[in-house]
Structure 1
Amino acid sequence: MTVKYTPDHEWIEITGDDGIAVVGITHHAQDALGDVVFVDLPAAGTKLKGKEVAGVVESVKAAADLYAPLTGEVLEVNEELRADPSLANSDPLGKGWFFKMQVTDLAEFDALLDQAAYDELIKNS
């Protein structure tokens, strides 16, 4: 399925027809943050609304909130990322994913930015 992006620099990919999605931060976000040293991830079972704070990413430069891109329930967090936060820098779109969620309103996905719109957003920021 397609990867979409938020204006807050999260990415989300719905992995199948079941509405399960993987969430992480973009290359742009990890570049802006610098070396990630800590992540505070939501607990499995947490119900989130789109744009609600889901966690925190701390780097040597700053701390930033992590937002839920869509409404749903957290199914799993990336324990490997919790143990090695540098994965958010070295592989933000792969091993550095943050959490998986069951999306409750797939229509929200269509409202997110596609690759071209996200590229335009970061070009102008």
Structure 2
Amino acid sequence: MEPLITIRSTASNRVLQIGEPNGSFFPVELTGYSITANTQLWSEMDAPDLAFFFANLGEHRAPWKGAITWASLEGDLGLSVTCTALGSVTFQVKLRGLPGAPEEWSVQVGIETGLGELERLAIEAKGLVNANNAI
């Protein structure tokens, strides 16, 4: 997978990567601390919405109160982002696969990063819309 967006933990080896759309879907992969999970998101609906979510995060230059959240249309990916007064940003990531099936699965982890990373993520997220429009 060629990642467009990479959220790398500053506290562990956890990484969330969101890849370039391929047809009607784009891949999402979570790795680190003995976890490997991946799913596919619907690019036509989720890519522009996710890009907008990251653009809004990228506008934050100072800590904020509460959580900023986003979830894909099918619930395959959920993000809840908080920031401490010192600028430590935590992404609570929930990945789901086979929603509604007897073998449905889910993984929920935290990924800690810094406030200064949000602008980079917003820039990377523009690639979701650009790649989606090229399809």
> Same-fold call, TM > 0.5?
no
Higher strand share: 2
- With normalisation by structure 1, the TM-score equals 0.29
- With normalisation by structure 2, the TM-score equals 0.28
Max Rg structure: 2
